[in-house]
Amino acid sequence: MGAPESSGGGGAAAGHPALAPVPPAVVAEWWQPFADHLAQERRCSAYTVRNYRQAFEDFYRWLEGSGLWAGGFEALGVREMRDFVIEAQRRFDRRTLHNHVSGLRTFFKFWMRRGRLTRNPFLGVPLPKLEKRLPKFLTEEQMKLLLAGPQRLLANEGIDAHTAWRDRLAMELLYGGGLRVSELVALNHGAIELDTGVARVLGKGRKERLCPLGRVAIAVLEKFKREFAPQSGPASPVLVNPNGTRMSVSAVQQMLKRYLALAGLPLDLTPHKLRHSYATHLLNAGADLRLVQELLGHSQLATTQVYTHVSVARLKEIYAKAHPRA
């Protein structure tokens, strides 16, 4: 269920007539061994495992409601899976449907390797074409405005100094290092080499990569640690609340909305859009595509190439505004 960097909308099976829990016996027999494989062997994140389970449960409910569960997984063929895809389009957007089917293919592949199933009914099943969506990102000027938010609130006594510098640090690391929000909140002081300005980040699939953070982010980090977390050790979280606890993903998401509102920017922009901005600004400045791929931790170059489309679109926009023959 190849979890994407950001999941598509419409992930809940809201239109399904029965959302009763999947029977414990089915979970124990079919889901749990697969879940253990995902977590222990493939080292998928809890977020990814959750998405896989949503796809599995939705598929089971469809089989049950269609009267196909009686025959079991082995009885399923391409025809039945085409019916599933057609029906699922009423409940999911195209991207979510692609993710679910990808995950179900992985599920069947797992049980084929274990010898319990002999075929993968999803192989060869056509899916609706994905709409091409360019990632949203902030311009460099918008980023400056956003990053200035914590100090603006601090100057107006809207927040305390700890919160202001912590929030500034969070945004500087997201933008300066191109981190995913999950990577950000998991970051410990021992993973950062202050003299080189590089962090060792554990990304998707538990793969480690090196992320230059930038001189500004390092300067903010040193100030925050010196003034608000002087007792921090190598295992201590970089982003901490005033009570010393680690900042959560949801707290970062809510924090960002506060500064988006302050800067007059769209509130639907997520922490991941700062990562998009990081990649886009690097490519706009002439960075090599494969270098950006490595910095982002993408396993496939095609995942990174979407940012080249953003850069080309931006160039065309500038050309249209500036050239007399445009």
73 has pLDDT over 90: yes
Q: Is 100 a catalytic residue?
A: no
Do 88 and 206 fall into the same domain? no
The answer to the question of residue 135 being in a domain is no
Q: Is 272 a catalytic residue?
A: yes
296 has pLDDT over 70: yes
> What's phi and psi for 115, nearest 5 deg?
85, 5
Find the catalytic residue in 53, 98, 180, 225: 180
Confidence of residue 7 (pLDDT cuts 50, 70, 90): very low
**Around 249, how many Cα atoms within 13 Å sit in the side-chain half-sphere?**
10
Do 6 and 86 fall into the same domain? yes
User: Which pLDDT score, from 0 to 100, does residue 314 have?
Assistant: 59
Looking at 95, 130, 165, the residue that finishes a domain is 130
The answer to the question of residue 94 being in a domain is yes
User: Which pLDDT score, from 0 to 100, does residue 6 have?
Assistant: 39
146 has pLDDT over 70: yes
Confidence of residue 313 (pLDDT cuts 50, 70, 90): low
Do 161 and 272 fall into the same domain? yes
Q: Which domain holds residue 144?
A: 140-322
Do 9 and 38 fall into the same domain? yes
The whole-number average pLDDT for the span 173-196 is 92
Do 2 and 81 fall into the same domain? yes
User: Which pLDDT score, from 0 to 100, does residue 134 have?
Assistant: 54
Beta carbons within 8 Å of 272's beta carbon, 6+ residues apart = 5, 6, 180, 181
Do 208 and 318 fall into the same domain? yes
Cβ distance 269 to 259 under 8 Å?
A: no
The answer to the question of residue 318 being in a domain is yes
Q: Is 16 a catalytic residue?
A: no
What whole-number distance in Å separates Cα of residue 103 and Cα of residue 79?
19
The answer to the question of residue 303 being in a domain is yes
Looking at 109, 130, 151, the residue that finishes a domain is 130
What whole-number distance in Å separates Cα of residue 101 and Cα of residue 84?
10
Find the catalytic residue in 225, 273, 281, 298: 298
Find the catalytic residue in 275, 276, 278, 281: 275
Q: What is the pTM of this model?
A: 0.60
Do 163 and 67 fall into the same domain? no
Do 102 and 168 fall into the same domain? no
What whole-number distance in Å separates Cα of residue 228 and Cα of residue 5?
32
Q: Is 298 a catalytic residue?
A: yes
Confidence of residue 294 (pLDDT cuts 50, 70, 90): confident
Cβ distance 169 to 217 under 8 Å?
A: yes
| Average confidence score pLDDT of the chain | 86
The whole-number average pLDDT for the span 142-152 is 94
48 has pLDDT over 80: yes
User: Which pLDDT score, from 0 to 100, does residue 318 have?
Assistant: 59
Domain at 69, CATH number: 1.10.150.130
Beta carbons within 8 Å of 323's beta carbon, 6+ residues apart = none
N-terminal to C-terminal alpha carbon distance within the chain: 44
Under DSSP, is residue 56 helix (H, G, I), strand (E, B) or coil? helix
4 has pLDDT over 70: no
User: Which pLDDT score, from 0 to 100, does residue 44 have?
Assistant: 82
Tens of pLDDT, residues 227-246: 999 989 999 999 999 998 99
User: Which pLDDT score, from 0 to 100, does residue 110 have?
Assistant: 96
Do 201 and 247 fall into the same domain? yes
Do 27 and 76 fall into the same domain? yes
The whole-number average pLDDT for the span 151-155 is 94
Find the catalytic residue in 175, 259, 278, 307: 307
Do 123 and 156 fall into the same domain? no
Question: Could you give the number of structural domains in the chain?
Answer: 2
306 has pLDDT over 90: no
9 has pLDDT over 60: no
221 has pLDDT over 90: yes
Comparing 131 with 32, which gets the higher pLDDT?
32
Domain at 194, CATH number: 1.10.443.10
Looking at 88, 103, 130, the residue that finishes a domain is 130
The whole-number average pLDDT for the span 127-138 is 73
2 has pLDDT over 70: no
The answer to the question of residue 54 being in a domain is yes
The answer to the question of residue 37 being in a domain is yes
Q: Is 180 a catalytic residue?
A: yes
Find the catalytic residue in 204, 225, 273, 281: 204
Do 167 and 312 fall into the same domain? yes
Confidence of residue 326 (pLDDT cuts 50, 70, 90): low
Tens of pLDDT, residues 255-291: 999 999 999 998 888 898 898 888 888 887 788 878 8
The answer to the question of residue 273 being in a domain is yes
